[in-house]
Chain A
């Protein structure tokens, strides 16, 4: 773990404590569909793959206080014991390759022990080529039964510790997919900070992990059965019922990939920025209230409203007759996967025609389109890759929307009672920032929704070679205007 600990760290522990875990099963399996999807994205984004790191901060609950670093570390060890994804890393799937690597490593170790000079050690190290997961498109998951997680102990701001823990990309083969830290005040832990490798969990999975950690701290145990683990999921996905689900999803991808625009943002902007990838973000209470009102008036969710309006605006900006957008879908619809700590989220395919005459028509079309998209999200990425290659060949051009939508909120509230004056007044509070810039991204247009204290957070992370910075800003403000206008223009009577 490459984390610099600031001054004032707990002198007793020297800046770290160890969280040990043992007694669990070990094994290997192919990647699950969700792991495969995120792995593909990570490889395409490297070396900027720290982009996928994310984390959670847990203030120590009152019932667990006072909490020593040792007890906190024990709870973290129990958490990793319970959730196999947190002790699962990547390894080579090819057994011959694995054996060769192992033999080579053992030979190197033996030779190294005999070597007497630093120069010889150096020559040795150069001969052994370590497994480099980022070069492997088809790794397998490797579950370890026991191990030790080194936990940073520090004082100060938990947010700063989280920034440090998420600052560098994970070593997917060598490092545990969870980085943990404790913020202490004297001898007492005040916050636990978790940074996740996206191969181990998605946003919902991390929520479950945090909830379980809280229970471990307050009750010493997590009640109930352990939810399905990545090894089990991988085996189900390879089974006949899993393949049936995959086939249904693949039919949707195939049908739509034959007719959608090959890519949505296909014209050079002429205003590429440096670095090329930027994020513009607004926090808008007005948009939040407007979306809630539209959702209530049209008997749907704000998520569907925002997906529909975002897509509609993409067709206006790009001039295409059809919008293809890839919503990130949680895939926690099955009763048994609701609480799984793993990456289940995958892209679905949402396709919407342009030119609906009013909001009612737009949402009438968007609702079933959203359900089709949600179902298509639980798919085998290998099917999608194969279909994409086939259809791209037959259409004579590469097909990929490069246009995605990620609603990262955990609640969705519909409310028709917001009045026009309040919503329009809230427009003045909207703020726009540019919180991120980087060289590489495996997409051209990513729309993220987050719940912020000041309202709805909506960001566009775009490749400025295809959507300039002024156009990104205009898109966000136009989206806000369109929603506010639609919330109060020609609205139907409130149902019920």
Chain B
């Protein structure tokens, strides 16, 4: 199931999953991030890893997080993060 998720994932989501794996030092693999049905934090993405993810996403995609109350949820969901980057939210 995880392999199928990897194959079908769009390129941006795959890239974000790779960043999650990097930010969490492999605690959460890219495949696990892509297949996640629970918040990434429930898989083991700590607040330190979240900060690393934010920094990497900001630098790579030229966006800035404002850390409003709703934005934490974006960090817990690859789909939401993808929409945040493409401007869909």
Chain A residues engaging chain B, CB cutoff 8 angstroms: 248, 296, 299-301, 303-304, 330, 332-335, 364-365, 367-368, 370-372, 374-375, 412, 414, 495-496
Contacts and interface: CB of A to CB of B under 8 A. Distances in A.
B80 interface: no
Given A368-B69, A371-B72, A301 B41 contact: yes
Contacts of B69: 364-365, 368
26 contacts: A299-B38, A299-B76, A300-B47, A301-B41, A301-B46, A303-B47, A304-B47, A330-B48, A333-B48, A333-B55, A334-B52, A334-B55, A335-B52, A365-B69, A368-B67, A368-B70, A368-B71, A370-B47, A371-B50, A371-B51, A371-B65, A371-B67, A371-B72, A374-B51, A414-B44, A495-B42
Interface in B36-71: 37-39, 41-42, 44, 46-48, 50-52, 54-56, 64-65, 67-71
A364 B37 CA distance: 20
Given A333-B52, A367-B72, A372-B67, A299 B41 contact: yes
B39 A299 contact: yes
Given A334-B55, A374-B51, A375-B67, A495 B46 contact: no
Contacts of B65: 371
A375 B75 CA distance: 15
A303 B41 CA distance: 13
A299 B68 CA distance: 18
Nearest to B52: A333
Interface string B12-24: 0000000000100
Contacts of B68: 368
Interface residues of B, number: 25
Contacts of A374: 47, 51
B67 A496 contact: no
Among B46, B52, B68, B76, the most chain A Cβ lie within 10 Å of the Cβ of: B46
A320 B66 CA distance: 26
A365 B68 CA distance: 10
A409 to B, nearest CB: 11
Task: Provide the main secondary structure of the chain A interface.
Answer: helix
Contact of A495 (B39, B64, B72): B39
B47 A371 contact: yes
A333 B54 contact: yes
B66 to A, nearest CB: 9
Contacts of A367: 72
A375 B51 contact: yes
A300 B39 CA distance: 10
Contacts of B44: 414
Nearest to A366: B72
B46 A368 contact: no
Among B44, B67, B71, B76, the most chain A Cβ lie within 10 Å of the Cβ of: B67
A252 to B, nearest CB: 9
Contacts of A496: 37-38, 42
A144 B56 CA distance: 34
B47 A368 contact: no
Contact of B54 (A301, A335, A365, A371): A371
B22 to A, nearest CB: 8
Given A300-B47, A368-B67, 16 more contacts: A301-B47, A301-B48, A303-B47, A304-B47, A333-B55, A334-B52, A335-B52, A364-B69, A368-B72, A372-B67, A374-B47, A375-B54, A412-B47, A412-B48, A495-B38, A495-B39
B37 A300 contact: no
A148 to B, nearest CB: 37
B48 to A, nearest CB: 7
Among B22, B41, B44, the most chain A Cβ lie within 10 Å of the Cβ of: B41
The 7 nearest A-B residue pairs measured at CB: A496-B38, A333-B51, A299-B41, A372-B67, A299-B39, A333-B55, A367-B72
Contacts of B70: 368
A370 B50 CA distance: 11
Contacts of A296: 42
A46 B72 CA distance: 40
Contacts of B67: 368, 371-372, 375
A35 to B, nearest CB: 21
Nearest to B59: A334
Nearest to A370: B47
B89 to A, nearest CB: 16
A300 B48 CA distance: 11
A372 B65 CA distance: 10
A304 B39 CA distance: 16
A299 B41 CA distance: 5
A496 B47 CA distance: 20
Nearest to A244: B64
A125 B69 CA distance: 62
B1 to A, nearest CB: 15
A364 B70 CA distance: 9
A371 B69 CA distance: 10
A248 B51 CA distance: 15
Contacts of A299: 38-39, 41-42, 76
A248 to B, nearest CB: 8
B62 to A, nearest CB: 12
Among A330, A368, A496, the most chain B Cβ lie within 10 Å of the Cβ of: A368
B50 A412 contact: no
A131 to B, nearest CB: 38
